[in-house]
Amino acid sequence: MEHLSESFAWMAWTWQTGLFFAAIVGLLIVFTLLAVWFPERERVGVLRIPTTRGDRLFICLLGSAFICLAWIGLAGPDLTWALAVCLAYALAVFRLV
């Protein structure tokens, strides 16, 4: 039987990758608890569609993925400033969408 770490070697798991997925799981847990403790009504923002907190989180994650991919393609693999752009984008999405 193949060793467990060898069977996942093709995925290139690093502590940064694990931290990323742990952060996503943490966000999902926090947003689930917020939905239970503080139910919200949908609101209409600049996109002119009704959105909830979860919808805005999804928009942030999807947009941040595209920002990081564009950054890698245009500026190289150092994502320090790209993450700052993603944070600003997320703040704008949660405020305006």
For residue 61, the model assigns a pLDDT of 94
Closest CA to 85 of 68, 69, 97: 68
SS (H, E, C) 5-62: HHHCHHHCCCHHHHHHHHHHHHHHHHHHHHHHHCCCCCEECCCCCEECHHHHHHHHHH
50 plus 35 within the same structural domain:
no
Q: In terms of domains, do 25 and 66 share one? A: no
Are 72 and 92 in the same domain?
Answer: yes
Residue 19 pLDDT? 87
Residues 22-73 pLDDT 10s: 999 999 999 999 999 999 889 999 989 999 999 999 999 999 999 999 999 9
pTM, entire model:
0.78
Summarize the confidence of residues 70-91 as an average pLDDT: 94
Do 18 and 46 fall into the same domain? no
Query: Which pLDDT score, from 0 to 100, does residue 94 have?
Result: 93
Phi first, then psi: give them for residue 50, nearest 5 degrees: -70, 130
